[in-house]
Amino acid sequence: MGVLPTLFKVARRGKCLLLLVLCLCVLAWIAAISSDDVVKESPFEDLKAIEESPRRELESEMIPSVEEQTLKESCPERSPLLRGALKLTFEASVTLEQVESENQEVVGGQYNPADCVARQSVAILIPYRNREKHLLYFLYHLHPFLQRQQLHYAIYVIHQAGDVTFNRAKLLNVGYLEALKDYNWDCFIFHDVDLIPENDENLYVCEEQPKHLVVGRNSTGYKLRYKGYFGGVSGMTKDQFHLVNGFPNTYWGWGGEDDDLRIRIQLQRMTIVRPPAEVARYTMVFHKRDSGNQVNKDRMLLLRRTPQTWKKDGLNSCSYNILSVNREPLYINITADIGQPEHAH
């Protein structure tokens, strides 16, 4: 006989109504504690709701379907298409039309290998304003590069509207939140538009720990700039990025935002992994400091406060307005109004 009917019987005898009420209270309390445990999984409940909101339509024929996943084999651990070190070219005559016609398997900025199921689905996020030529070289090199790695991927260009001070980190938060509306990506690669990888063994996939993909680049003698350096190109899973509450939104102008993310990672007791130095090499297309991206003089002060601020400054406080989402052949262009610094200096 069940517990409840027995209790009712006892209660009906009129002897222990009080006991019945007491038992029900205990049951309710147990139920409450166990549901509490589920909630505790995420420190940012509101954020979780946003991350799991209904998906916007990404070119659906490109999304791996369940049938496909069962019919096709998983892509090999090491892609047979890799070529190692590449000779990069930066012809002045390259046009967007040319790059589009060379990459016809890319639809609406997205690619999915035809013969096997990719091991990871990767969103490449590029903070962007006014770097047209750089974007062209980026698309020219990166599409074939990523295809040789047999990845399911999409390239998102997050374009800061207006001409207030640039904010790389906030744009990357916007990119993460918006890309998740398209698809439940496994891995996010945060990528400067002017950096071109020189070796396709530098895999654009995420690892057990946050990954920094740039050990060196042409202009700095291919040496790691400093131990905790996390700038240029980095990769984190959805869970890793969620755990640190993303990037800060409060770094306007040049510098510091990459170190802030590193501190967040360290505060969560995660470590940074890097590919071998001979693989993690990049060419940075030459540029001067952009107007509208002056050095952030507050960065040292902000970095000292990160342990106190990370929980409230990040993905869970990232407010912005999307002005447009354009699905171009080779990338998804998201134009956002991300506001301006709170205190003008």
- Binding stretches for ligand UD2 (CB under 6 A): 126-131, 166, 168, 192-195, 214, 217, 231-232, 254-255, 257-258, 289-290, 292-293
- Residue number, 194 or 198, with CB nearest to Mn ion: 194
- Residue number, 171 or 315, with CB nearest to ligand UD2: 171
313 is catalytic: no
Name the binder of 42 from Mn ion, ligand UD2, none, CB < 5-8 A by kind. Answer: none
Which candidate, 108, 50, 34, 114, places its Cα nearest to that of 81? 114
Q: Which of residues 299-328 bind Mn ion (CB under 5 A)?
A: none
Measured CA to CA, the distance from residue 201 to residue 204 in angstroms comes to 9
182 is catalytic: no
**Closest approach of Mn ion to the CB of residue 303, in Å:** 20
- Residue number, 75 or 155, with CB nearest to ligand UD2: 155
Question: What is the crossing angle of helices 168-182 and 257-267, to 10°?
Answer: 60
> Token pair 């003089």 is at which residue?
297
36 is catalytic: no
How do 195-197 and 121-128 pair as beta strands? unpaired
345 is catalytic: no
Strand partners for 154: 110, 123
Q: Active-site residue among 51, 178, 186, 194?
A: 194
- Residue number, 238 or 281, with CB nearest to Mn ion: 281
Q: Active-site residue among 57, 289, 290, 300?
A: 289
**Closest approach of ligand UD2 to the CB of residue 341, in Å:** 15
192 is catalytic: yes
Q: Active-site residue among 55, 56, 78, 287?
A: 287
- Residue number, 108 or 197, with CB nearest to ligand UD2: 197
Segment interacting with Mn ion (CB under 5 A) among 114-122, 189-197, 210-218, 249-257? 189-197
Do 187 and 122 touch, CB atoms closer than 8 A?
yes
Q: Active-site residue among 102, 207, 284, 305?
A: 284
Q: Active-site residue among 257, 259, 260, 313?
A: 257
Binding mask 66-105 for Mn ion (x = CB under 5 A): ----------------------------------------
Name the binder of 180 from ligand UD2, Mn ion, none, CB < 5-8 A by kind. Answer: none
Q: Does the protein bind Mn ion through residue 258 (CB under 5 A)?
A: no
300 is catalytic: no
Give every CB contact of residue 70 below 8 A, 6+ residues apart in sequence: none
**Closest approach of Mn ion to the CB of residue 223, in Å:** 17
Q: Active-site residue among 254, 270, 278, 327?
A: 254
**Closest approach of Mn ion to the CB of residue 281, in Å:** 15
Q: Which of residues 192-231 bind Mn ion (CB under 5 A)?
A: 194
Q: Which residues bind Mn ion (CB under 5 A)?
A: 194
Q: Catalogue the active-site residues.
A: 192, 194, 254, 257-258, 284, 287, 289
